[in-house]
Structure 1
Amino acid sequence: MAKKAETVEEKLRALYDLQLIDSRIDEIRNMRGELPLEVEDLKDEVAGLTTRLEKLNNEVQTVEEQVKTKKNEIESHKESIKKYTDQQKDVRNNREFNSLTKEIEYQTLEIELAEKHIKEFKANMEYKKNLIAQTSEKLDTKTSHLKHKENELNGILTETEREEKALVVKSEEFAAAIEDRLLNAYTRIRNGVKNRLAVVSIERGASAGSFFTIPPQVQVEIAARKKIMTDEHSGRILVDAALAAEEREKIDAIIKNLK
C-alpha cells in the first residue's frame, strides 16, 4: 500500500501527481471519443439494412412465385377454352352451345384477370427491386464506413489499451496516498469542471486556464507549501510552478515506462 502523504507539501505533490495521471487517462479516453458509440450505431444500422434486404429479397421471390402461379392459371384457362371450343363443334342444340360459350367467356375473363394481376405483381416487383438496389448501395456504404471506424478504433485501442490499464492501476495507487477528505474534495472538484482539472499550477500569476490574477501575497503562501490553497474563482486546488514542474517530470517518466 502507498505511504500516506503527511506534510502539506507531500499532500500537494500527491494531489498533483494524481491529477497528472488522471489527465493522461482522460486524454486517452478522449482520443477514442465517440468512436465506440459510432461503431455500435453503425453495427445496428448494418444489421437493420441486412435484415431489410433479406426481407425484400424474400418478398420478390414470393411475387415471382405469384406471377408463375398466375401464368400457370392462364395456361389452364387456355386449355379449357380450347376444350370448350372443340366441344361446341359437337353440340346438339343451342342450349349446349350457349352454355359452352358462357364457359369460354368465363375462362377468358379469368385470363384477363390473371393478366391484370401479373401486371400488378410485376410493377410491385419492379418497385421492390429498386428498393433492393437502393438498400444494397446503402448497406455497402455503411459496411465500408463501419470497417473504417472499426479499424480506427482498433488502432487506438491497440495503441493505448495497455497504457490506460496501467495508468488506472497507478491512479489507484496514488489515490491511496491521499487522505479521504482531500481525495473526496479532489473528486468533487474534478467532476464539477468541464476540463476535469481539480489541481492546477500557477502560470503567469494566475491559475492555469484562468484569467483571474492571484494576488502576490497569495502566490507567496502557495509557494510556501504550508497549507492547501484554492482558487477563489474556480475552487481548484493550487500548486506553485516549481512543484508542478518537478512532479510533471516525475510523472512523465512513469508514463513513458508504461507505454
Structure 2
Amino acid sequence: MQKTLYALVELQEIDNRLDELRAERGDLPLIVEELENKYKEKKGLLEEKTQALKTTKVRQKELELLIEEAKAKLAEFEEKLYQVKTNREYDAIMAETDATKTKLEESEDELLNTQETIERLEEEIKQIESELEKVAGELEENKIELDKKLTATAEEENLLQNERDIILKKTDPEIIKTYEIVRQARDGLGIARVENGVCGGCFSHIPPQKIVEVRKMEKIYTCEFCGRILVYVEE
C-alpha cells in the first residue's frame, strides 16, 4: 500500500504541474472554440442567404418572362377585338383579357416583392461577409497565440503525461477512480498531506490516533471533512 500511496503523491504532483501549464493558456482554448463555432455559424448563415438570393433571382427572371408574355397576350387580344363578329367572341376575348390582366397584376406585385427581397438579401449577405471576415481575423489571431503557448509547453506536457500513464497502469483502478472523483470535486486536489495535525487540504483537525494510522501507510484513509486521501510523507 505504501507504493500505492507514494504513487498517488507523485500523480498529484504531476497533475498539479499539468494544471499549471493549462492555466498558463488561460481562456485561449475556450476563446478559440467559441470563435470556431461562431465562424461556422456565420458561414452556414452566409451559405443559406446566398442560396436564398440565388433562388429569388431565378424567380425574378421567371416573373419577368411571365409579365412579358402577359403583355404580349394583351396586345394580341386587343387586336382581336377589332376582328370579332359576334358578341360571344367578344365576351370570350374580354374574359381572357381580364384573366390575363389579373395574372399580370399578380406577377408585377410578386416581382416588386422579389426585388425588395433581393435588395434585403444582398444587404444581409454584405453584413454577414463583413462579420465573417472580422471573426476569421480574431480566430486566426487567437489560434496563433494558442499555438505559441502549446508549442512552448508541449515537450513538458508529453513527458508528464507519459509519467502519468505509467503510474495509472501500475495502480489499482478503483483507487485511481476515487482519487479522480475527489480531485474533480476539490479544486484539483485529490491528495492531502497530514501536517501539524491537520489535513493539508481543508486544514481540519485530525485525531492523533488517525494520524498514527495514516503514518503507517498500510491502507487508504480519507479526511472526514473534505474527502481527500490522506498521506504522511517525510520531506
TM-score, scaled to structure 1 = 0.64
Which one of 185, 204, 213 corresponds to residue 212 of structure 1? 204
SS at match of 1:210: coil
Separation in 2, partners of 1:162, 1:131: 46
| Amino acid aligned to 1:189 | Y
Q: Distance in 2 between matches of 1:133 and 1:30?
A: 39
Equivalent pairs, count:
228
Superposed CA RMSD:
4.1
Match of 2:179 in 1: 189
Q: Look up the match of 1:254.
A: none
Question: Unmatched 5+ residue regions in structure 1?
Answer: 244-259
Q: How does 1:1-259 map to 2 (within 5 A)?
A: 15-31=8-24, 39-40=32-33, 42-89=35-82, 91=83, 93=85, 95=87, 99-129=92-122, 131-133=124-126, 135-173=128-166, 180=171, 185=175, 188-193=178-183, 194-202=186-194, 206-214=198-206, 227-228=216-217, 230=221, 232-233=223-224, 234-240=227-233, 243=235
Question: Which secondary structure state, in structure 1, belongs to the residue aligned with residue 216 of structure 2?
Answer: coil
1:153 CA drift (Å): 3.4
What secondary structure does 2:192 align onto?
strand
Structure 2: runs of 5 or more not aligned: none
Q: 1:191 to 1:26 in 2, by over 3 A?
A: farther
- AA aligned to 1:192 is V
What is the identity percentage for the equivalent residue pairs of Structure 1 and Structure 2?
23
SS of match in other structure, 1:200: strand
Amino acid at match of 1:19: Q
* Alignment TM-score, normalising by the size of structure 2: 0.69
Q: Select between 150-159 and 50-59 the one with higher mean Cα deviation.
A: 150-159
Question: Over residues 221-248 of structure 1, what are the superposed CA-to-partner deviations in whole Å (9 max), with x where a residue is unaligned?
Answer: 69xx9622856434522335x61xxxxx
Amino acid at match of 2:217: I
Q: Deviations over 1:17-67 (max 9, x none)?
A: 332123212333455577656645643443343233222212222222222
Contact 1:187 1:198 in 2 (8 A): no
